[in-house]
Structures are given as C-alpha cells and as structure tokens.
Chain A
Amino acid sequence: MAAPCRHVGHHIKRNGRFLRINLDQLFASRGLRWTSALQQQGEEVHEESKEPIVIPRKKSWSSEAVLEALASTVHRDPTAYPYQFQDDPYLSPRTSSEFKLFSLSQESGRAAAKYFVSNNPKFFTKDFAEPHIPCLMPESVTLRLEEVSEEALKERITLRKVSAAVEMYDQLLQAGTSVSMETTQELLDLICLYCDKNPVQEGAPEVEDAEEAGEETKRRKPKGRRAADHLRTSWKENNNAERIFNLLPEKDSRCYSALIRGMVKHGAYSKAFSLYTDLLNNRLSADVHTFNALISAVPDVRDKFNERWDLITELLNQMNEQKVRPNLLTFNSVLKALRRCGFLAKTYAPQTLNEMKALGIAPSLATYDHILAVFYKSGSSGPNNTDIIQDMLTELEGTSFTCRDPHDVYFFSSAMRICLDSKDLELGYKVHSLVEVGDNWRLLGDSYQQSVYYGRFFSLLCMMEHIDVVLKWYSRIIPSLYYPNPQGMRDLLQALDTDGRLDLLPTIWKDIKTLGHDNKVDLVEELLSLMAREEHSPEVQESFAACALDVKSVFDGRSSMEWSTSSLSHVTTLLLRANKLQQAWDMLLLFKAKNRVPSEVLLNNFLSVCQSSGAPKRAVELVQLAAAFCLPATPVLAKTALAEFQLTDEQRSILSEFEAAPEKETE
C-alpha cells in the first residue's frame, strides 16, 4: 500500500499547481488500490442517489471486549488436568480421593503460609504494590489493646475472638462503664453466630475448655467426625448470649433478632419461638431475616402437617401486619418447610409461587428445586408427570443464573435424578444444556454435588443412549469433570454389553485401573465374566488374553483380593482361547494353591486345546491334576486322552491307571 502513496506524493510534488484541477482525473486514471473501493462506492452512490447514507452510532466497547472475544473461541479442553493442579502427569489426580487429597493439601499449605505471615507481620509490611493490594498485607490476629475499654471490645469483635469479647464485656460492666447499644448489638451478633464458641482458627491447635458438658460427647466421637461436630453446634441453656441479653436494660428488635436467628441456627427451635412471642409482647417488630429464620424452624416445632402450615400462614400474616417486605429467602424457606408438610405441599406450593410473582420477586434455582422435590418424590416412579419439569426447563432455557440462595446448588442434581428415574434422555440433555449456558456450571456445587450430578447423567446415558454417543460423552466428561465410582463403571460395562462392543473391554480395564477401582473384586469379576462369555475374533481374543494376564498380576499383587472359582475359570478360559497353554497351566496350578476346584467344562476345554496344539505331555499332566482334585470326570478325561493323543508307553500306563479310578473310589 505504500507504493501507490509514494507515486501520489511524487506526482503531487511534480505537478503541484495542476493538482487540484487534475485530482479527479488522477484518481480515475491511476486506479490506485486504496481508492478503488471508494471509487466503487462512489459509482454506486451515483446510481442510487436516492438512498440516504446512514452512519451507524459509534459502539462503545468495554475494556475487556477483545479478551472476551478471544476467550469465546476457546472451549473447555476435556483432556486437560483441572486448572488448580500442576500440569504434570505425576502431579495430577486420577481418582476422586486423590483430587480431594491434593486440593486439601494445597489449601493447608496456603493456611500454613498465612499462619507464618500473620504471626511475623514485621517481615511483610514493606509495601511496593501500586495500587495497594490489601489482601497481601499481613492480617492482625493478635490483640493490641489490653486495657478495659470499649475500643478493646470492638477490636475483639472484629477479630472474632468470642470468649475474649465476652470477658471484656463482663469486665466493662463490673467496672461500671456503659457500653454503647451498637457495640452490644454487635457483641450479641457475634456470640449468636458462633454459638458462644471461638471459631476454629486455621492451623492453630484447638484449645477446648474442659468444663463444658458437651466436651465429653465430643471426645467420645471418633476423631474423623470433628469437622461435622463443629458444624452441628448446639445451643446451650443459659449461655453467654442469653445471659447478656437478660442483663440488657432495654432490648431492641435487633438484639431479639440476633438471639432468635442464633437459636434457630444452632437448634434451639422452641426457644426461638418463645423469644419471638416475647418480642411481640413488647410490641416490637422483627425484620425479614428473623422471619426467614422462624419460618425455616416451623417443621421442627410442630408435628402435624396442617399445624405446620397454620403456623407458617400465621407468621406470614404477622409479617404483613408489621409491614415487613418478604424477600426471596422468605419464599424459599416457606417452600422448604412445605417440603416437610406432606400432601399439603401440592396445594400450597403453587399459591406461594403466585405470591412471589405478585410481589415481583424472581424465583431462584432453589425455588425450582423445592418445587421439584414437592412434586417428584424420590423412589416413586411417575413416568407421566414429567410435564412440570418439562415446562420448567422450557421456561429456563438459555437463562444464566447467579447464586442467590445457598440451596441453589441442589437444583441440577435433583433435576437429573428425576430424569434418571423417569428414564427420559431428552430431558437429561435439556438439563445439561442449561448447565452449559454461561456460568451456570458454578451452580453445580462442590465436588461432591458435582460428582452426584455427573454420576446420574452418565448412568442415564449408559442406560438409554447408543454406545458411540456414550463413548463420546465418556471421553468428554471422564476424568476431567467426573471420576466414576464402581457403579458408574458397571453401568458402562452393561452399555457395552448391550450394544455388543465387548472388544473395548481391555481399554475400559485400563481406565478402571487408573481410577483405582481395580481393588473392587465384584467389578473385576463382572469384567472377566463379560470377556469370557463368548468366543470372539482372534485379535479380540488376543487382547482379552493380555487383559486377563494383567488382571492376574493385579490379583497376585494385592493380598486383600481373593480369587474366586469363577474368576479363576474365566481367566483360564480366556487364556485357552488365545492358545496360551503355558499360562493356562499356571492358572490350573493356582487353582490347587487357592483350594478351588476347576469345573469339568474347563478341563475338557483344556484337553481340546492341548490336542489342537499337540502337547500330549500336558494332557497327561492334566489328567494327573484332575485325579489330584478327585474329580469324578477323571476317568472320562483319561479315556479321551488315551484315545486322541499320541502317547508313549509310560504315559499310557499312567493314564490307564486313572481310567480305573472310579472303582477305587467306590471302595
């Protein structure tokens, strides 16, 4: 493009005066490339001079528009390791337990670094980041203020030191200084949130007081359950929160709110309701969070379905009276409580939805999940009622969700459960396409929920789809998104069997080994029985025999795995079919070693293979082995061997002994 411009420049330099006159001629005659488009457009304009030129409005792009456009060209790579791990085969997890172990060890490394940084802040205070990055500065975890004052109390509250805060408050009260209402409210919030216990510090050893009665129960439970124990803390009678609350001269609605929500969170449901009645008696009004907590506690304070529903309606009416506007969580708690109201749910859930619509609150995935739970009870097969979920999915198609309720993550797995129960493949694909919209994959939940979802999806596919499609999905989601459990592998084997693709069994065996399921004896036995059931083409038989030898080495390598008669006979059959006589003979010796008896069919099979490969010595040994097992088939074997083989006299004499065996046995 530079050359024509140079020509123009040159021309302009030479004929400056004539330029303006000759400009049009110049453009027309030279036919410069960079004006040819304009020239064409000019011609068009001359032809259609009626049409006005519309200059489009200037588009404004966000600063990341280019990056987003580039990112949209790249899709998820199903062969890549999960991004949180290093890109190395030694360091990538192959089973779900390894996944958990590696991610937890990385987290604990980070926690260890944070511990060092917080405990030695003087080495990390130099700040050269511009702009300042607050999350990379050391956090203060140690208390600075030691004197008895409100600032010290506030500091303890911000650092979440529950017991120290309570102590400081008591000291302040004893000293006679009054604590401001706001600080007291924050203190109550803190105690109720953590149920009067210090939150577990990451990395620091737990120091538990010996006086609390709950301690003994904790010690009795095994160590592995400690995390779950801490989640299910129980509200103790007259703990610090209640004590401080009772000492307060005037209790306002925020204090009540903190107490009620804390009680509901930690299991003291009836107390929460009695405190609520106190609140009503004092003619105070509760806020929306308190009401949400109370509604969610309703099924635990009433037993009968209609009583529960009556209490919920009463609470909602009071909410209306107190002019408190419900939010999404209110309706979700109503639906969650309705789940435990039996047959009433089907009547009242649609009404609740209508109320939501009237108030203009958009439902979240948790709402839909509760509705699905109400209308589709697990276990009962309702193949005709897929209308509700069909309508739901059609309405939600293409929508991208954000998490607005912690319960949102259960939607996809329950939807997939319904698809699996009703064996509806199209529905399953619809649910999965909803997962693939935008960022909806984040709403699949933690790794356990994700594995449940993909497990159900994969079982549905194995049950209903053609094997080629199943294998396509298999390569797409395993193992990058999902590590199948033994049941999943069994479903896959069944799918292979149904569609007659048993030649793929050796590759599946390799995957089973990688996933760490080769120690599940029944899975391995099922694999062996599928391989040994029928005769296949010679190449397939060769691969099966190699696979069988691999299985044998796995069994030998692990002391916990026991050979059973069926697995031994399957392996032997497979080896015989591939004419591997020596290895098959080793297997028969293994029978003897493990005290299992080979079947007659197997021995006949062996004999025929010996005959086809011409190993008379083997045949004799076989008959001797059969005799050692005291099998009733021994004389028949001996007879066939004598008849069909070329034997030496010595061998003949041995065999004729065995021919006479039954008479010996009857004696």
Chain B
Amino acid sequence: MAASLSSSGCARLMTALARSSVLYNSFESRSLHVTAVCCKNQAARIRIGKGDKPLTYEQAHHPHQIAHRKGWLSQHTSNLKGVEGAAERTVEDVFIRRFMFGTFHGCLANEVVIKRRGNMLVVCALMLQKLPPQKFYFLIGYSESLLSHFYKCPVKLDIQTLRDKAVYKYL
C-alpha cells in the first residue's frame, strides 16, 4: 500500500485548505502510486521449494511444456477455424472439474481429462483407492446420470485407480 492518500490526521487541514482553494494543486494530490511491473509468469507454476513437496508429472511441468512434454487436459474441436462454442466448452469444463472434485472428494489423484467425441463427453480421471468399489460405482452412476441430464448429451466416466499419487519429483 504505497499509495500516498492522506491519512485522517491531516484530513481536517486538507478540507480547510481545499475550501480556501488556495493550495489545492500544489499540496498532496490524490494520485495512484504503483510499483514497477515485474514481467513474470506465474500461471500453473509450482516454484522450487525445500524439497519436501511431492509433485505429479502434470504439476511439475510448466505450461510452456504443453505440446512438448505435456498433453492437453481438455480436448474438443471448438478451437479450430470456423468452429464456434469455445467459450461454452470452457465453462462446461470448469463446471465438470469442480463437480468431479467435489463428488469424489479427496479421491482425485491427478487432474481430470475431458474429451469430447461426437456428442459424447468422456471424463477421464485417476482416482486413489480410498473408497470401497461399491461406493465408487454409486458415485460413478450418479455423476454420469446427473451430468448427462445437465448437458443433454451422453457423459461417460473412465476411472482408473491407483494406490497412491504418482509422484514425479519433489520440489
């Protein structure tokens, strides 16, 4: 808060002076003070730390590695030339990710991958083996049905389970 807005202490003095309109311009004027811009990327980057934080492959690679060492988490054709609906697909993806995170609480081992094939939505997720299989199936049936009714298209879940998160490195 490096702004130089006047404190309340000299507010009365300020108003008095303003009313007299003598020293209005030369005294402390209301201005915005900003620091120098630090041109630094920080999206989806986990910075190096003490060495005790486990990272998955997905988290360990920065976004500029997409198409080099990483794939895409959401696959649809709306970004091709002449195809519309990219924004709607993005909003749907955000909702689906939050839905999966909340429904399978604490079970997601990695990011959810969303693929659109024809009119079908395939949601692929890696889960931890925290729940017994019948509970998984209850949640799978529930999510598939609810998302199909919500998006008016067939939604399929592809679940793979792991015992623990697959750690790629520690940062």
Q: Which residues of chain B have C-beta atoms less than 8 A from A138's C-beta?
A: 149
Chain A residue nearest in CB terms to B142: A109
Chain A residues near B149 (CB-CB < 8 A): 113, 117, 124, 136-138
CA separation between A109 and B134, bound complex, in Å?
10
Q: A90-B129, A127-B152, A136-B149 are in contact. Are A109 and B141 (CB under 8 A)?
A: yes
Interface residue SS majority, chain A: helix
Q: A106 at interface (Cβ–Cβ under 8 A)?
A: yes
In the docked arrangement, what's the CA distance between A129 and B138, Å? 26
Q: Report 23 cross-chain contacts, Cβ distance below 8 Å, ordered by A residue.
A: A86-B159, A86-B160, A87-B158, A88-B160, A90-B161, A91-B159, A91-B161, A102-B137, A105-B141, A107-B141, A109-B145, A110-B141, A110-B144, A110-B145, A113-B142, A113-B144, A113-B145, A117-B145, A127-B152, A129-B152, A133-B152, A136-B148, A136-B152
Q: How many residues of chain B are within 8 Å of chain A by beta carbon?
A: 27
Within 8 A of B (CB), among A99-154: 101-103, 105-110, 112-114, 116-117, 123-124, 127-129, 133, 136-138
In whole angstroms, how far apart are the Cα atoms of A105 and B136 in the complex? Answer: 9
In the complex, what distance in Å separates the CA atom of A124 from the CA atom of B145? 12
Which residue on B lies nearest to A118, using beta carbons?
Answer: B149
Q: Mark contacts of B146-171 with chain A using CB atoms, 8 A cut-off: 1 yes-contact digit, 0 otherwise.
A: 10111111000111110000000000
Contact (A109, B133) CB under 8 Å given A116-B146, A123-B150: no
* Nearest CB in chain B to that of A85: its residue: B137
A91-B133, A109-B140, A113-B143 known; 8 new pairs, CB 8 Å cut-off, are A107-B141, A109-B139, A112-B138, A117-B146, A123-B150, A136-B152, A136-B153, A137-B149
Q: CB-nearest residue of chain A relative to B136? A: A91
Q: Residues of B with Cβ closer than 8 Å to A?
A: 119, 129, 133-146, 148-153, 157-161
CA distance A626 to B143 in the complex (A): 65
Q: A88-B160, A91-B159 are in contact. Are A114 and B145 (CB under 8 A)?
A: yes
Which residue of A91, A108, A127 contacts B138 across the interface (Cβ within 8 Å)? A108
Which residues from chain B contact A108 at a C-beta distance below 8 Å?
138, 141
Minimal Cβ-Cβ distance residue in A for B151: A128
Residue of B nearest to A93 (CB): B133
Q: CA A358 – CA B138 in complex, angstroms?
A: 53
Name the distance in Å between B129's Cβ and chain A's nearest Cβ: 5
Majority SS of interface residues in chain B?
A: helix
CB proximity of B157 to chain A, nearest CB, Å: 8
Does A102 lie within 8 Å of B145, measured CB to CB?
A: no
A240 to chain B minimum Cβ distance, whole angstroms, is 35
Q: Which residues of B contact A103 (CB under 8 A)?
A: 137
Minimal Cβ-Cβ distance residue in A for B145: A113
Distance (Å) between the CB of B99 and the closest chain A CB? 12
Interface centre among B134, B136, B137, B143 (most CB of A within 10 A): B137
A:557-597 near B, CB below 8 Å: none
The 5 A-B pairs with the shortest beta carbon distances in the complex, nearest first, are: A109-B141, A113-B145, A109-B142, A129-B152, A106-B141
**In the bound complex, do residue B141 and residue A124 qualify as a contact, i.e. CB atoms below 8 Å apart?**
no
Q: Return B92 CB to nearest CB of chain A, in Å.
A: 10
In Å, the complex CA distance between A551 and B133 comes to 26
Q: Give the distance in Å from the alpha carbon of A108 to the alpha carbon of B158 in the complex.
A: 19
Query: Shortest Cβ distance from A85 into chain B, in angstroms?
Result: 8
B140 touches A106 (CB 8 A): yes
Q: Which residues of B contact A107 (CB under 8 A)?
A: 141
CA distance A112 to B145 in the complex (A): 9
A87 to B125, CA, bound (A): 12
CB distance from B49 to the nearest CB of A (A): 32
A114 to B147, CA, bound (A): 11
B159 in contact with A110 (CB, 8 Å): no
Give a binary string over A445-489; 1 marks a CB under 8 Å from any B CB, 0 the rest: 000000000000000000000000000000000000000000000
A588 shortest CB reach to chain B, Å: 39
Report A104 CB to chain B, min CB distance, Å: 8
CA distance A102 to B140 in the complex (A): 11
Min CB gap B93→A, angstroms: 15
The listed residue (B134, B145, B153, B161) touching A88 by CB distance below 8 A is: B161
Residues of B within 8 A of A110 (CB): 141-142, 144-145
A105 to B144 CA separation, bound complex (whole angstroms):
13
Q: How far is the CB of B140 from chain A (nearest CB, A)?
A: 6
A102 to B141, CA, bound (A): 10
Shortest Cβ gap from B110 to chain A (Å): 14
Kindly provide the distance from the CB of B1 to the nearest chain A CB, expressed in whole angstroms: 42
Residues in B neighbouring A128, C-beta threshold 8 A: 151-152
Min distance, Cβ B88 to any Cβ of chain A, angstroms: 9
Closest Cβ neighbor of B146 among chain A residues: A113
Cα–Cα distance between A133 and B152 once the two chains are bound (Å): 7
